[in-house]
Amino acid sequence: MARHKRRHEDNPTEPDLPITPMLDMSFQLMAFFILTFRPTPSEAQLPLILPADKGDKTASAVPQFDPLKEENQEISVQIYAADTGAPNRIIAKLPTGDVELGASTTELNKFLRDQLASRGGKAPKLKLQMVENLNYQYVIKLLDESRRAGYESVSPTLIQ
């Protein structure tokens, strides 16, 4: 058996692959993404409950919720709309019971001012629960009336 020998080429052809421009581009892309990255607030902040420096070592670090304290109370107002998109029924939900305010946003403002005065000027959180077909101009008007009444923490939500 005769063995066939392979011819060995003296000049093998190598592909011409420029590495330097690819490295330059990868570093430029990396620098771009590092410089333009903005973490969302939920990524940048972690809610933690830490124990107090002073006090009993066996005390719980979790704050106790007292529903009778005024700062923990929340006023919930439900707004229902007619077919035209205008509010036709506003109901304030309080721990003591429901209060019908009719359809007037000025009545809501008066009620909120009275609630603020009865709490010594300290405004609790206000939740405005609205139906989906409420016209946006009334949503803005309700938010404006709440702010004028002195409520800083107002959260509009949909009635489920």
**pLDDT, tens digit, for every residue of 50-83?**
666 665 555 555 544 444 454 447 888 888 988 8
Q: Is the pLDDT of residue 160 over 80?
A: no
pLDDT the model gives residue 138:
86
pLDDT the model gives residue 67:
45
Which residues, in sequence order, are CB contacts of 31 under 8 Å at separation 6+? none
- Reported as a single tens digit per residue, the pLDDT across 117-130 is 887 777 778 888 88
pLDDT the model gives residue 136:
84
| Domains in the chain: boundaries | 70-158
- Reported as a single tens digit per residue, the pLDDT across 34-52 is 999 887 666 555 556 666 6
Question: The domain 70-158 is classified under which CATH number: 3.30.1360.200, 3.30.70.2610, 3.40.50.2020, 3.30.420.270?
Answer: 3.30.420.270
Contact 133, 81 (CB under 8 A): yes
Which residues, in sequence order, are CB contacts of 138 under 8 Å at separation 6+? 79, 81, 85, 86, 87, 105
